[in-house]
Chain A
Amino acid sequence: MKEELVLYEEGAHKCIMFSFDDEEHEDRFLSVNQFLIIQKDTAMLIDPGSQAVYDEMYDAVERLIGIDKLKFIFFSHQDPDVAGSIAEWSIATSAKIILPGIWVRFMSHYGVMDMNRLTALPDHGAKIPFGENYFQFIPAHFLHSPGNFSLYDSRSKILFSGDIGAAVLPPQDVYKEVTDFEAHQPFLEGFHRRYMAGNTFTRKWVEKVRAHDVDMIVPQHGAVFKDEHTDAFLTWFEELKCGGDLIDEIY
């Protein structure tokens, strides 16, 4: 599989997806994606992943823009496949590390004790303007992590949705982009029904997302949703019964 995919490129703005940490099993395939947004001569790294992919990720950033140009590193939540390499990044860069407020104090377990390096996102999110555009951190709490954010980039109109939209694919048919939502749906279902907390949260998140003009949804695992598939996914997710809605299935 190609490990590097340009999602958007226009003028000084570029969004790249990496797949450095894919999990391959006999009966299923779970891609683990990392993202880099380059805006002029600065960059934001999104969910750079575990220690196992740190070297590859570091090389990619160095090659594409230069490690000293990294201004922000955003961790959508606290999982090891997202934030496991936070200590390495805090040493190797002077970037501002942004993460959900409720996880800040846990980062010492990953090797960061310098709270000054960390920017805690408040529950309702935040906005970082750049030129006429902005990055919006959209609350995605309990989907699945209790402290979790999606990131919307108004320039590329891409929503980096974290675990939302993740798909576990059959290893014989791995694809990077959804071309048939109905055929894709079964690969979404198992993961979302078990990992997401409930319809109250999916509904609220969709409402928040719909306030923005979204062209593409790129999850941290699985395939990208574009154009009409974006809306198909939002509509499906809005109605999804999951987690607490199915309490008797899991207890």
Chain B
Amino acid sequence: MPEKDKIKLLKQLASPLTLLYVEDNERLREQGVVLFQKFFKEVFVAVDGLDGLEQFKAHRPNLVVSDIKMPKMSGLEMTRRIHKVSPDAKIIMTSGHADPENLLEAINSGVFRFLVKPLSVAKLSTILLETLEVVEAEGEERLFDFYVENIFNYQNSMIVLYKGNQPVIVNDRFLSFFDMESLSDYQDHYGNLGKHFLEHKDFLYNHELVDWFNEARAHMGQLYHVKMYDTQTQVHHFLFKMTAIESKKNHYIVSMDDITELGLLKLFDEKASDDDQRFRDKSNFVKLLEALKRNSAEIVLHNFYKGLKITNPGVVVTAEDKKIEIRSSFLQQKAVLNEKRTILTSEAFPADILCTTIKKVDFDTQGIIIDDLRFVNSSPAQREHMQLEPEDTHKISLFYQEHRFATEIRIMDISLKSVQITVPVLPAGFRAEDDVHLDMVFELNRRPLIVNCAANVLLIKEVGREFQVVLSMELSKSAQKSLTEYLAKRQMNLIREFKGL
């Protein structure tokens, strides 16, 4: 590397770091300080080994440069003492002459590099660069270990530390999955991790519109699904997550949690039927929720009160065969308690999960203990439009083939798009796709609000002794405005009613 580039790199690496310079010769000390200050954020000075040890304890510099022969305590003795309090400390020793005995003792004392005086910028920059590169790599390893131990403490996960878009450290599980000795072997052999991601509906993989790395980087913390072959060409299914490391700019941890054993892949392709026996098995849900908990991923709880949608994020706190507990906000707990069921959604689920048993809601711990889980193909959580139950005093008339249909009709719920009604009998010949006209009167702030519109029969269901009919409405602009106003006010009233429960 040309000297100019070396200096530039050194400035870049050293600028956030501190250095302690220990030298008993005053003139040399002053010269050294001037030199080091060009590179390091802060330079501390000590006049002998004893002073050096104290300064080290007080400031914990990233690097130490010290003379060997000094009064009170030698540089080598200081090195031994510093390593007792900070075994990883990097200490560079300078000496007037390279006598072999000194060198040997220096090595035994744990000195990182040995430098013969006089110090020149060229000599210094080479040694400092070497040292700082090691410091940087060790920092990354420590970071990696920290994340592995504290966040992804799970043996099934493959973990990669990225610096920019380059992997710098991987764990053993990663290497053994690809049957590689080291990260550099892996890179020589395979190159980019994204090449392994196989195409699968709703999964993360490279295609025309998506580059896996940019996609994940734009959505830190989000769970994705990825699918890869192992060396035996067995397909594995992983929950993938990228996390930004807050303390270190441009560093990301990618974790891939192997959930192949849950057998979820099929659910992403063709929506399995609600009765699919494999997914009635509680232990599979437990494992899936456990994977979410492990990845500190949020879920979303959906409940309804007379059509009012109440959703809040939640977390899985326990996922065991005996007990599944999630935690969410007070209002959500209240909604769950009222509805005696809840719907869970997550980007990690192949479909929404309906829980039909609520064993306990504990307002002190914010806990909700759930049971009887199953995947559902369509769920009200997917509703695009607010669908509210109107007040009891509403009125509706239905005109079919230009005649008012004279029977008791009630609105079950209404949105800006459709209205669902119940009728005890149907007009003769009434069927799906027929056109009708609706006159509806709601109550808004004690005044009547009238909505008239043409509508089309979408669906007719016979439920018990009555019929439920879904009609899609064609609203004029003014009718749409009135209905929006009504729904907003009705929603507010329902919120008040719900909070008062």
Which A residues have a C-beta under 8 Å from some C-beta of B?
51, 55, 58, 87-88, 90-92, 94, 105, 108, 111, 113-116
CB pair A88–B488 under 8 Å, yes or no, is yes
B308 within 8 A of A: yes
The closest CB in chain B to the CB of A113 belongs to: B310
CB-defined contacts of A51 to chain B, threshold 8 Å: 488
Name which of B70-78, B166-174, B479-487 contacts chain A: B479-487
Pairs A–B under 8 Å by Cβ, sample size 11:
A58-B481, A87-B488, A88-B485, A91-B484, A91-B487, A92-B416, A113-B308, A113-B311, A113-B495, A115-B312, A116-B300
B309 within 8 A of A: yes
CB-defined contacts of A115 to chain B, threshold 8 Å: 300, 311-313
Most buried by A among B300, B310, B331, B484: B484
Q: B residues 289-335 with Cβ under 8 Å of A? A: 300, 302, 308-313, 329, 331
Query: Digit string of B463-482 for contact with A (CB within 8 Å is 1, else 0)?
Result: 00000000000000000010
A138 to B300, CA, bound (A): 28
CB pair A114–B485 under 8 Å, yes or no, is no
CB-defined contacts of B308 to chain A, threshold 8 Å: 113
The closest CB in chain B to the CB of A109 belongs to: B495
A45 to B484, CA, bound (A): 18
CB-defined contacts of B331 to chain A, threshold 8 Å: 108, 113
CB-defined contacts of A55 to chain B, threshold 8 Å: 481
CB pair B488–A91 under 8 Å, yes or no, is yes
Q: B residues 382-421 with Cβ under 8 Å of A? A: 384-386, 416
Distance in Å: Cβ of B496 to nearest Cβ of chain A: 9
Distance in Å: Cβ of A97 to nearest Cβ of chain B: 13
CB pair A111–B491 under 8 Å, yes or no, is yes
Which B residues have a C-beta under 8 Å from some C-beta of A?
300, 302, 308-313, 329, 331, 384-386, 416, 481, 484-485, 487-488, 491-492, 495, 498-499
The closest CB in chain A to the CB of B308 belongs to: A113
CB pair B384–A94 under 8 Å, yes or no, is yes
The 6 A-B pairs with the shortest beta carbon distances in the complex, nearest first, are: A114-B309, A111-B492, A116-B311, A87-B488, A88-B488, A113-B310
Distance in Å: Cβ of A18 to nearest Cβ of chain B: 18
Number of A-B contacts (CB under 8 A): 49
Distance in Å: Cβ of B352 to nearest Cβ of chain A: 12
A94 to B308, CA, bound (A): 16
A225 to B416, CA, bound (A): 40
A92 to B488, CA, bound (A): 9
CB-defined contacts of A90 to chain B, threshold 8 Å: 386
Pick from A105, A111, A113, A116: contact of B488, CB under 8 Å: A111
The closest CB in chain B to the CB of A105 belongs to: B329
Pick from B386, B487, B495: contact of A108, CB under 8 Å: B495
CB-defined contacts of A105 to chain B, threshold 8 Å: 329
A87 to B488, CA, bound (A): 6
A111 to B386, CA, bound (A): 12
A90 to B416, CA, bound (A): 12
CB-defined contacts of A113 to chain B, threshold 8 Å: 308-311, 331, 491, 495, 498
Distance in Å: Cβ of A150 to nearest Cβ of chain B: 23
CB pair B311–A114 under 8 Å, yes or no, is yes
The closest CB in chain B to the CB of A118 belongs to: B311
CB pair A114–B310 under 8 Å, yes or no, is yes
Most buried by B among A58, A87, A90: A87
CB pair A91–B300 under 8 Å, yes or no, is no
Pick from A87, A91, A108: contact of B416, CB under 8 Å: A91
Distance in Å: Cβ of B451 to nearest Cβ of chain A: 14
Q: Name 14 extra pairs, CB < 8 A, besides A58-B484, A87-B491, A92-B484.
A: A58-B481, A87-B488, A88-B485, A90-B386, A91-B385, A91-B491, A92-B416, A111-B495, A113-B308, A113-B310, A114-B309, A115-B312, A116-B300, A116-B311
CB-defined contacts of B484 to chain A, threshold 8 Å: 58, 88, 91-92
A51 to B492, CA, bound (A): 13
CB-defined contacts of A92 to chain B, threshold 8 Å: 416, 484
Distance in Å: Cβ of A114 to nearest Cβ of chain B: 4
A59 to B161, CA, bound (A): 51
A115 to B381, CA, bound (A): 12
Most buried by A among B385, B386, B499: B386
CB-defined contacts of B311 to chain A, threshold 8 Å: 113-116
CB-defined contacts of A111 to chain B, threshold 8 Å: 488, 491-492, 495
A88 to B486, CA, bound (A): 9
A90 to B311, CA, bound (A): 14
A51 to B445, CA, bound (A): 15
The closest CB in chain B to the CB of A86 belongs to: B488
CB-defined contacts of B386 to chain A, threshold 8 Å: 90-91, 114
A105 to B491, CA, bound (A): 16
CB-defined contacts of A87 to chain B, threshold 8 Å: 488, 491-492
CB-defined contacts of B416 to chain A, threshold 8 Å: 91-92
A90 to B386, CA, bound (A): 9
Distance in Å: Cβ of B294 to nearest Cβ of chain A: 24
A198 to B385, CA, bound (A): 43
CB-defined contacts of B302 to chain A, threshold 8 Å: 116
A58 to B484, CA, bound (A): 11
Distance in Å: Cβ of A192 to nearest Cβ of chain B: 34
